[in-house]
Chain A
Amino acid sequence: MSVIEFRNVSRWYGNVVAVNDITMDIGPGVTGLLGPNGAGKSTILHMIAGFLEPSKGTLALDGTATWRNPEVYRRLGLVPERDSVYAFLTGAQFVSATAKLHKLPDPEQSAAWAIGLTEMAEAQDRKISTYSKGMRQRIKVAAALVHDPEILLLDEPFNGMDPRQRLSGTIQVMVAGRLAASGDFRAIRRLMTSRPHVFRVKTTDDRRLAAALVGRDYTHAVELTSKGLQVRTSDFGAFCEQIAVIARDENIRLTELLPTDESLESVFGYLIAN
């Protein structure tokens, strides 16, 4: 089982510190790096991938430094962020060429396996230049998986994807180059769900519903806006269960109920503030 070990790793660009004295172990399983823009996620990932040298400290995969060591790619797979691929190749040609670069015993079979895994079999004989962005992402994942790596690094895997579908296991939260939170994803998700939630509610009588909501202990704040009611609640579950009951009791019709801050940014904001 592979472990990526960070020991007092820092990385700076001129006067700017991108990663500040990180010590952690990343073990088997899916690990996500979360953090706002500029937190140092890409820097961390590029250092693991051997495409950036730590300015200080050591970063090793099972005891071997990844910098200047392409041999780590026998156990490592990287899905780069940039969209550029050899667009003149077909998907199948691209993945099997990658298999050959890994000197796999049966490159065609490995390519077929990886393409099947990413559900790209139907499009595999088309040139990559004809692929959509999502298909390019998938063929890049197929190429990164073709040698069945123990560790797969995905740079910006959330582009156009729901992070909650993608994440499980451990996550590391980075803020301004430092490790802000680290641990089991479920624990962090509990933190995330117990934070105040904001909903926008449109009804036939906003003012009356506002009055009724103010009396409940899970209501943090209510604001009348031109777009309807803005409600902050400290208990996501209770609010969702009771809003319909309150509306029925008060004889108000709900026309719209929207969570307004489900974005990853607001989750970060909450985690950072704590």
Chain B
Amino acid sequence: MTESKTIAVDYLARVEGEGAMYLKIEDDEVTDLQFSIFEPPRFFEAFMRGRRLTEAPDITARICGICPVAYQMSAVHAMEDALSVTVGPQLRDMRRLLYCGEWIESHALHVFLLHAPDYLGYESAIHMAADHRDIVTRGLRLKKIGNDIVTVLGGREIHPINVKVGGFYRAPTKGELQALVPDLEWGLETAMDTARWAASLEYPEFDRPYEFVSTSHPSEYPMLGERIVSEGGIDIGVAEWNDVFEERHVEHSNALHAVIKERGAYHVGPMARYTLNFEKLPDELQKLGMETGLAGGCRNPFQSIVVRAIEIAYAYWLALGLIGTYDRPAAASVELPAVAGIGHGVSEAPRGLLYHRYEVDAAGLIVDAQIVPPTAQNQLSIERDLWAYVPGRTHLPDEDLQWQLEQTIRAYDPCISCATHFLDLTIERS
């Protein structure tokens, strides 16, 4: 006789966005599964048409309150590509420094307030804080320093106002950046300790055969990568994104599913970046990777908390280096020509590769826009993880299975909407 069941969760906390999960289990197998994003479409790509190209970084920043810098960086890259403009190394370094702040803000929020409660057995960070006040206090301070970096470079800690196509409105003084150094030194040490602590947590055995995709750079662990690479042999220029990948509409989700045209699901984010670019990390962080047991790669989504901690450490390390060599540029931005063009831009949002494409006319207006956020790219990968996780674990009580399935979703730090925030999870057994 076939045994099947459904488990329902009405409210999955600690994720960003409105979505639902439905699972039907028969015997030891999942027979139906839908990860649905019912967050209403927000039509950013449509309403950007006709707006000035210079507005793109400020408009797209509003897609997300946690990773606005990512939207700004991919937008300015794409616009500058469309106008055949290149910013110099000083301005590029300012962008990397701003991005360090965002990686720290976003990853610290996820590691300490959203993800850690899963491993320590608490419903939320609030419940966890009662017993682990030191962990929460450390996480809040690590995050605050990220906010401070974004404030100095971006003008405020959320939705920065200092970013423009062609550079910045104002470059900070050396003194303004130097003031951050003592906190950054504390942050680097603390983030490295955080990775060691995260590695000591208990994880289910669950290695997945992902095809990891990230940007790449000849010498840098990528924030502002220049090409797109994968373990499956993809190595393309940014302008070729639509040749290799495509976005598909599926009935059960308001977010498009991005797939590799030839092979389907792929995975972007910290685990992909880490695995594809491990040798680009500084020596001390490669050693930290070895010490934490990850070595040169990570395929277990439950261990992504360790990877994020290492990336927090990397962002602190990089911020210290960029401030050390900072040379205030004579001009905070470059001039923009009035030309028509098509441009492509990528950068590494905390949650993974973020691709933008714009067509602009000679009057400086946006004719067409395409924005592919990381969570849209990971949707299929999340579904595949859930399909794979259940077999062999159907003996678990519903409550435990549900908790672990929620964890597999939270491991992606999904930014389902970058807007309002809940996810319904239903598992059916009958």
Tell me whether A and B are bound partners.
no
